[in-house]
Chain A
Amino acid sequence: MGEQLTMKGKGLSIQTRNYEFMVKFTPQREWIEKQGILMLLAMFFIELGAGTFLVSSFFQNRSGMLTGWLLCGLLGGGFHLLYLGHPGRFWRMLFSSGLKTSWISRGLAFVLLFLVGGFLNLFSPSETEIGKYLLFLTNIFAFLTVIYVGFVMAAVNGIPLWNTALLPILYLVLGIWSGLGVTLLNFLASGTKVTTLGTVEHLSRLFLFLFAFLVFVYLVCVRYQHTAGEASVKTIVIGKLAPLFWIGVVFMGILLPMASLLMETIPPYLLFLLIIFELIGDFALRYCVLKGALYPPLVPTNMD
């Protein structure tokens, strides 16, 4: 049937009524509306937690690693289980054919392996070779945990906003950038040496720019990918989600932290606030990506 759509007229032709389902661009609902918000929270905390663990482990900050482990395991895992219809059956995700093909299955494996490895590391740390290899392995799983949600979504070829190689990369950067933020918070709270803090800060800034750049590239590329992609991007940038995007993601998440670079030194309370803003930016972006996701119509239709 191919592409028979033209974007014209002032509207974005997004479904709002029952009879427009899959006749206009149709929003994704299951993973954002009502109970779906739990999925957003799950994704956020899982990646945030794993990213925090990864970064903290790099900087040998044990309280950061613990924070990351708890965020991922308790909050992220908890929200995910809460979202499931039958959480008691979650073990099936590991012992079935799903593992061969499904990114959620694989993701669960990564998360569990990360959590187990992290648990061993945190609660019975070892300075031995085995202990170091275990930590290394755990970090690999943490890395995979940070990136896997992006693959889960990129595998959905029905949603052009998600079906791009840029999404896992964006999510990876997002996870690490936020992880840097939480690690920094941890350092601040525990009052660590300035040099380490400085390195974390520098890395954090690097990832901030990387993140801003990737968001831009991502949105531009998706916009040209498909008319549903274009509609999604328009929804995020000038449509319903625009306030959240510009205030939450761009202003709070990117511009304010960038502006702080103009300051000679950033007082700790301001740094604390900026990190919270960055986390809000992370959450807001994930919200936009889930909420702005649109399916193209199944049938030929006037788009105006």
Chain B
Amino acid sequence: MLKGEIDYERLRRERREYAIFDREGKSDYWAYTYCGGCYGHCGARVRVVDGWPVAIESVPESDLGGRGGMCAKGVSTIMDYHDPNRINYPVRRRNPKKGIGEDPNWERISWDEALETIAEKLIAIKKSDPRKLLWGFTPGPGTAFKATIFVGGFFVTFGSLNRAAGGVGTSCGAVAHHIGALIHGAWDVLPDYQYCNYVLRCGGNEGTAGGRMLATALRLSAQARDRGMKTVVLDPVGYLAGSKATEWIPILPGTDIAVFLSMANLIVNEIGIYDREYLKKKTNAPYLVGPDQLFVRDKETGKPLIWDERDGKAKTYDDPTLQEPALEGQYHVYDVKVSPAFQLLKEHLKQYEPAWAAAISTVPEKTIRRLASELVREARIGSTIEINGVKVPYRPACVVGYKGLNTHTNGFHQYGAATLLNTLLGNQDVCGGILGSGTVRGFGHPETGRPRFQPYASEDGMLTPGVWFTKAPWPPPKITGPGLLNFQDIFPHAGRNPYPYCDDWEEIWTKVGRPYEPEVLGLYGANTVMNGGNPRSAEAFLKKVPFIFSINTIHNETTEGFADIVLPECHFLENLDISSSQGYFFNYPIGMDKWSFHVGMPVVVPKYERRCTLDIFFDLADRVSTREDYNIFLENWFSTKTMKWEQNQAKPTQYEIIKPDERISNFEFTDRVLKFYFGKERGLEWFRDHGYITWEKKPEECYWRYFVDARIPVYYEINLRDKEEVRKRAEKIGMHMEWEQYTPLLSYFQAVMYKDVPPDSEYDLVAVSPRDVLHTHRFSAENPWLNEMSENNPYTYNIVMNAETAKDKGIDEGDIVSLENFRGDKIVGPCKLSKLIHRRVVAVVGLGGWAKGRPIARGKGMNFNELLPADCRHMDPICGAFEINVMVKATKVGGRP
């Protein structure tokens, strides 16, 4: 019906290729793809009737997902596909005014005109200064989650490192991913559910509501619960993970750091049981530290030194004769008094007493002591287990957490302290412990050995991820700038931060000297004005960018308010997208679950003039003449030569998938990648019919710790090395931050929200925003089925408050309540009373919406981000984490309607 409507020859050609997904015109069939409802990317099969998807479930034989099971978000994605508000053609803004709530007055234009307009602007920028291009991405409804590869690759090869988190990245894993890289070589971490016996879960609801791996984690955690795995949840909110836990311990947000540091103190200095072998062999705990608190380095090689107790002398960390690394003591090297880093850590931890931690966190001292001894007891330090004939350490206890731990101004030290506990237990990437989840170590399919990747040791012998998705976390990049709009050049460990969507950006950029102005913003699937920090702060910046183009499946508050051109992308049900299978972002059959490789394929031929992600980017790259570099980027990545953004190496001499001068389409590219990985018979047509491929995992792949020769930090020397450079450059441009955090030993710092108001202030409640099981970011709010579920769920559209606190404030169940922060920002909504939330905390799911193009989402829930101050004071100085909590006061403004 729609063939004749396509007004672009290149697109017509693409459609001819995609005709194989038409299944020869069958009217009722099942097709394979993956689910785009959240980051979990469960393998999926979809029923299609008369060319329309009508049902979806996951694949029973695959370990990627719920083995047939899928969460409500995934099942509901069918309705996203049918949304009549989907964008079907490229559009241009006719209303020149930009701002929140503006009506863009879209007019339809051709692909040719749209891309020509965009290319013209990009070419001009490339000539003058590629940094004038700011770009960002976030997954939207059904858009490819591995946007980092296709989208990131395009913009990086274009020459701009001016990436601003499109939306979700701001309040997500700035620290978790960074530390995850350094410790696990992984983007995310999960308990080894099949073998773990004890989990201390803090500030994260994966397995109950957290959407990073939802259905897979749901399945595994339910099995573990059934098996008897004990979970202790330390969280201000108790009705999510806490409700399925063996024990819920309420804690004041952002104070877990005190608890962790005191637990580490107890473990090291009182209980005295921790994995010394692990510390000696796999961490930088034995590295010798001089009086200046930096590592003492070999004069010839510059490598950090370790004291060998057996030989009584200092050796480099990789000296093959090293026998007994010392963890304690004082020695002399190069006439300087030195100590192993662990000695310093032990002394340093003594100041963190459980009673002190109890006063800060409201967790009773007895409980803190109990948790420490439970963890140690359950970790069974020293034990081993045989998995498929391979002997690996067995540590069935771990500490895990996510957003609630790391998105604070003390996030680095807080998340680092949680990680330190795991390090002391020696449970990282061994059986039963905490596993890096994502592309960490894989030997590939047994028949081809592809795709293959693994972490390795680089500078200072430290663990370096084999695959990474944003700025490389290690080796640490040189500190340059300021010159980037996001200031990430002066913050070497920040993969993302809330800039430029902050109130102080203008002022700071002026102090930088305004070397250029942002001229173009390229967005992929993002809803920046809603998700990127505070909406008003984001609006202030977005209004000033002269030209914004965005690639989306549906309009949102950002496209309507600010975009000049919007390009229609295919919903995941129509999208051919190999990056989502390749990048194993969060989804990864963890532990000994089988490798399960699914491909995002159109279950129906795309309709109207919508195009697949890579098709759009190939087209754009052709027009701006970056296609060669883009091809090389993709070649490097998909052939596994270099699976990172930093591809500064010489061009590959052998091209396995795509040559620089080839102008192949997404279809051809995907086919080649699949054949490269799995053999000539297993191209797109094979995957169309079979859907996925699985193979057994080896213990050396998931429990890789003792099979990879690399160490992880316990002592963050790099913080000290970087401190002066960062501080100098930042202070010069007016960024006054807590530079004391640039210290090598994990230390206590108070999260900024408690400093924003005096202790006895009327702003006495901490506002938090946990993930709801029914929603992913904001985009799911447009789904009518999820909306119906939300209306029947007590938490989703309500402000949740402790019942006794509410009583003290004269607030009843269902009353309309206003939450106001110390700056006067407000949100208003109905109140739900609960006994499963800390007395001093209120919880709001981040929703709310006002876009005309998202009629179901309009007015549903509240936009939590309105409450958050966005500036450098509210940002972690090391990794750029945005402070996600704020002090508010709650006032009743109306009775229950």
Q: Which residues of A contact B (CB under 8 A)?
A: 11, 16-21, 302
Contact with A along B473-511 (1 / 0, CB 8 A): 000000000000000000000000000000000000000
Residue of A nearest to B835 (CB): A302
Q: Which residues of B contact A11 (CB under 8 A)?
A: 813
Most A-side CB within 10 Å, residue of B791, B813, B835? B813
Q: Which one of A16, A21, A302 contacts B814 once the chains associate, using CB atoms below 8 Å?
A: A16
Q: Which residues of B contact A16 (CB under 8 A)?
A: 814, 896
CB distance from A264 to the nearest CB of B (A): 51
The 9 closest A-B pairs by CB, nearest first: A19-B794, A18-B792, A18-B791, A19-B792, A19-B793, A17-B814, A16-B814, A16-B896, A302-B835
Q: Which residues of A contact B794 (CB under 8 A)?
A: 17, 19-20
14 contacts across the A-B interface (CB closer than 8 A): A11-B813, A16-B814, A16-B896, A17-B794, A17-B814, A18-B791, A18-B792, A19-B791, A19-B792, A19-B793, A19-B794, A20-B794, A21-B792, A302-B835
CB distance from B824 to the nearest CB of A (A): 30
Chain B positions 782-822 with a Cβ under 8 Å from a chain A Cβ: 791-794, 813-814
Q: CA–CA, A21 to B792, complex, Å?
A: 8
CB distance from A297 to the nearest CB of B (A): 14
Q: CA–CA, A302 to B835, complex, Å?
A: 10
Chain B positions 853-897 with a Cβ under 8 Å from a chain A Cβ: 896
Q: CA–CA, A132 to B794, complex, Å?
A: 64
Q: Which residues of B contact A18 (CB under 8 A)?
A: 791-792
Q: Which residues of A contact B813 (CB under 8 A)?
A: 11
Report how many residues on chain B are interfacial, defined by Cβ distance under 8 Å. Answer: 8
Q: CA–CA, A20 to B814, complex, Å?
A: 11
CB distance from B156 to the nearest CB of A (A): 46
Q: A11-B813, A16-B814 are in contact. List 4 more A-B contacts (CB 8 A).
A: A16-B896, A17-B794, A18-B791, A19-B791
Q: CA–CA, A302 to B834, complex, Å?
A: 10
CB distance from A161 to the nearest CB of B (A): 23
Q: Which residues of B contact A (CB under 8 A)?
A: 791-794, 813-814, 835, 896
Residue of B nearest to A23 (CB): B794
CB distance from A26 to the nearest CB of B (A): 13
CB distance from A14 to the nearest CB of B (A): 11
Residue of B nearest to A304 (CB): B803
CB distance from A204 to the nearest CB of B (A): 44
CB distance from B770 to the nearest CB of A (A): 17
Q: CA–CA, A19 to B814, complex, Å?
A: 11
Q: CA–CA, A44 to B820, complex, Å?
A: 53
Residue of A nearest to B793 (CB): A19
Q: CA–CA, A302 to B794, complex, Å?
A: 14
Most B-side CB within 10 Å, residue of A16, A19, A20? A19
Q: Which residues of B contact A17 (CB under 8 A)?
A: 794, 814
CB distance from A8 to the nearest CB of B (A): 13
Residue of B nearest to A21 (CB): B792
Residue of A nearest to B788 (CB): A18
Residue of A nearest to B897 (CB): A16
Q: Which residues of B contact A20 (CB under 8 A)?
A: 794
CB distance from B762 to the nearest CB of A (A): 27
Q: Which residues of A contact B896 (CB under 8 A)?
A: 16
Q: CA–CA, A21 to B793, complex, Å?
A: 10
Q: CA–CA, A18 to B813, complex, Å?
A: 13
CB distance from B816 to the nearest CB of A (A): 13
CB distance from A293 to the nearest CB of B (A): 22
Q: Which residues of A contact B791 (CB under 8 A)?
A: 18-19
Q: Which residues of A contact B793 (CB under 8 A)?
A: 19
CB distance from B705 to the nearest CB of A (A): 45
Q: CA–CA, A302 to B833, complex, Å?
A: 11
Residue of A nearest to B791 (CB): A18
Residue of B nearest to A302 (CB): B835
Q: CA–CA, A111 to B813, complex, Å?
A: 46
Q: CA–CA, A16 to B814, complex, Å?
A: 9
CB distance from B752 to the nearest CB of A (A): 34
Q: CA–CA, A16 to B793, complex, Å?
A: 13
Q: CA–CA, A11 to B807, complex, Å?
A: 13
Residue of B nearest to A20 (CB): B794
Q: CA–CA, A241 to B196, complex, Å?
A: 56
Q: CA–CA, A17 to B814, complex, Å?
A: 8
CB distance from A174 to the nearest CB of B (A): 35
CB distance from A140 to the nearest CB of B (A): 48
Q: CA–CA, A11 to B813, complex, Å?
A: 10
Residue of B nearest to A10 (CB): B812
Most B-side CB within 10 Å, residue of A11, A18, A302? A18
Q: CA–CA, A20 to B793, complex, Å?
A: 9
Most B-side CB within 10 Å, residue of A11, A16, A17, A21? A17
Q: Which residues of B contact A21 (CB under 8 A)?
A: 792
Q: CA–CA, A160 to B814, complex, Å?
A: 27
Residue of A nearest to B896 (CB): A16
Residue of B nearest to A19 (CB): B794
Q: CA–CA, A16 to B813, complex, Å?
A: 10
CB distance from A84 to the nearest CB of B (A): 28
Q: CA–CA, A264 to B814, complex, Å?
A: 55
CB distance from A27 to the nearest CB of B (A): 15
Q: CA–CA, A40 to B813, complex, Å?
A: 31
Residue of A nearest to B834 (CB): A302
Q: CA–CA, A16 to B895, complex, Å?
A: 13
Q: CA–CA, A17 to B796, complex, Å?
A: 13
Q: CA–CA, A103 to B792, complex, Å?
A: 34
CB distance from B800 to the nearest CB of A (A): 12
Q: Which residues of B contact A19 (CB under 8 A)?
A: 791-794
CB distance from A20 to the nearest CB of B (A): 8
CB distance from B830 to the nearest CB of A (A): 8
CB distance from A18 to the nearest CB of B (A): 5
Q: CA–CA, A39 to B793, complex, Å?
A: 31
CB distance from B894 to the nearest CB of A (A): 14
Q: Which residues of A contact B792 (CB under 8 A)?
A: 18-19, 21
Q: CA–CA, A20 to B896, complex, Å?
A: 14
CB distance from A3 to the nearest CB of B (A): 21
Residue of B nearest to A24 (CB): B813
Q: CA–CA, A281 to B328, complex, Å?
A: 90
CB distance from B867 to the nearest CB of A (A): 24
CB distance from A239 to the nearest CB of B (A): 15
CB distance from A107 to the nearest CB of B (A): 35
CB distance from A7 to the nearest CB of B (A): 16
Q: Which residues of A contact B814 (CB under 8 A)?
A: 16-17
Q: CA–CA, A20 to B795, complex, Å?
A: 11
Q: CA–CA, A80 to B813, complex, Å?
A: 38
Q: CA–CA, A13 to B768, complex, Å?
A: 28
Q: Which residues of B contact A302 (CB under 8 A)?
A: 835
CB distance from B735 to the nearest CB of A (A): 45
CB distance from B836 to the nearest CB of A (A): 11
Most A-side CB within 10 Å, residue of B793, B794, B835? B794
Q: CA–CA, A18 to B896, complex, Å?
A: 13
Q: CA–CA, A16 to B815, complex, Å?
A: 12
Q: CA–CA, A187 to B807, complex, Å?
A: 60
Q: CA–CA, A17 to B813, complex, Å?
A: 10
Residue of A nearest to B812 (CB): A11
Q: CA–CA, A18 to B797, complex, Å?
A: 12
Q: CA–CA, A78 to B249, complex, Å?
A: 61
Q: CA–CA, A16 to B794, complex, Å?
A: 12
Q: CA–CA, A17 to B816, complex, Å?
A: 13
CB distance from B243 to the nearest CB of A (A): 13
Residue of A nearest to B832 (CB): A19
Q: CA–CA, A11 to B812, complex, Å?
A: 10
CB distance from B607 to the nearest CB of A (A): 35
Q: Which residues of A contact B835 (CB under 8 A)?
A: 302
Q: CA–CA, A172 to B814, complex, Å?
A: 41
Q: CA–CA, A102 to B793, complex, Å?
A: 36
Residue of B nearest to A13 (CB): B813
Q: CA–CA, A18 to B788, complex, Å?
A: 10
Q: CA–CA, A18 to B814, complex, Å?
A: 11
Q: CA–CA, A41 to B143, complex, Å?
A: 55
Residue of A nearest to B795 (CB): A19
CB distance from A10 to the nearest CB of B (A): 9
Q: CA–CA, A237 to B616, complex, Å?
A: 69
CB distance from B267 to the nearest CB of A (A): 39
